[in-house]
Amino acid sequence: DSGVTQTPKHLITATGQRVTLRCSPRSGDLSVYWYQQSLDQGLQFLIQYYNGEERAKGNILERFSAQQFPDLHSELNLSSLELGDSALYFCASSPGTTGNQPQHFGDGTRLSIL
Amino acid sequence: AQSVAQPEDQVNVAEGNPLTVKCTYSVSGNPYLFWYVQYPNRGLQFLLKYITGDNLVKGSYGFEAEFNKSQTSFHLKKPSALVSDSALYFCAVRDGDSGGYQKVTFGTGTKLQVIP
């Protein structure tokens, strides 16, 4: 058990809809990372927050947004969903931002767009 | 810019034989290198890391990796493969000399199949 909790585990919705994915980091970790994993794109870094502040952005679409709350949990919001957004979305956490510490991953949210 | 390459999409090895999963990297400074494993329907799990020091790094489940600066490689190895090692393996790199925040870059993954 990594200590990172993601909800829901599965999400099925339709094109054009909006969903929110939730992540609770490992106790004591201040950094939260979001990744998208699809068969054709591999593991893509989306965004990172550290102690409530955005720290880095990767290949995140404008239709996607995220935030980290004072209790350190994070939410990833996906809007105007398209078929191509179907993927596994992972959250990871680490104690800081130095990059020499491993990230601990949740088991992901599988998003299916019909 | 930093990058990491896993040249093999899949590696097949017989149970009991040694295994190697290849990884090469490119960073402008000193690399921080990581290996992760992903089992079906699970998140990535940390196996081992190289930050500095001994070039041979030992990690979880009997895995080890050798850092080779001249070849810019960080291959994952295990002396004797188990069927339960069958999974997807990711190499990751970060430029350790970059100032401020620098994201970790993951490779595309290598599927390891251990054949009984």
Say if the Cβ atoms of B104 and A99 lie within 8 Å: yes
B64 versus A58: the higher-pLDDT residue is: B64
Q: Are B63 and B23 in contact (CB under 8 A)?
A: no
B59 versus A42: the higher-pLDDT residue is: B59
What is the tens place of the pLDDT at every residue in B33-81? Answer: 999 999 988 999 999 999 988 999 999 999 999 999 999 999 999 999 9
pLDDT at A71: 95
Amino acid identity, residue A24? S
Residue B100 confidence class, pLDDT cut points 50, 70, 90: low
pLDDT at B98: 64
pLDDT at B97: 67
List residues bridging with A83 in a β-sheet: none
Is the torsion defined by CA of A75, B103, B106, A65 positive or negative?
positive
Closest partner residue to A56 (CB to CB) among B43, B101, B107 is: B101
For the cut 80, the answer to whether the pLDDT of residue A81 exceeds it is yes
pLDDT at B71: 96
The Cα–Cα gap between A78 and A80 comes to: 7
Q: Are B19 and B77 in contact (CB under 8 A)?
A: yes
Average pLDDT, chain B: 92
The Cα–Cα gap between A85 and A23 comes to: 18
The Cα–Cα gap between B51 and B33 comes to: 7
Q: How does DSSP assign A59-103, residue by residue? A: S--TTEEEEE-TTS-EEEEE-S--GGG-EEEEEEEESSSSS-S--
Residue A63 confidence class, pLDDT cut points 50, 70, 90: very high
Element (H, E) at A113: strand A109-113
B32 CA: distance to closest CA in chain A (Å): 6
The Cα–Cα gap between A29 and A36 comes to: 21
Say if the Cβ atoms of B43 and A2 lie within 8 Å: yes
Residue A39 confidence class, pLDDT cut points 50, 70, 90: confident
pLDDT at B109: 95
Mutate which: A10, A21, A43, vs B, most B CBs within 10 A:
A43
Average confidence (pLDDT) over B94-107: 75
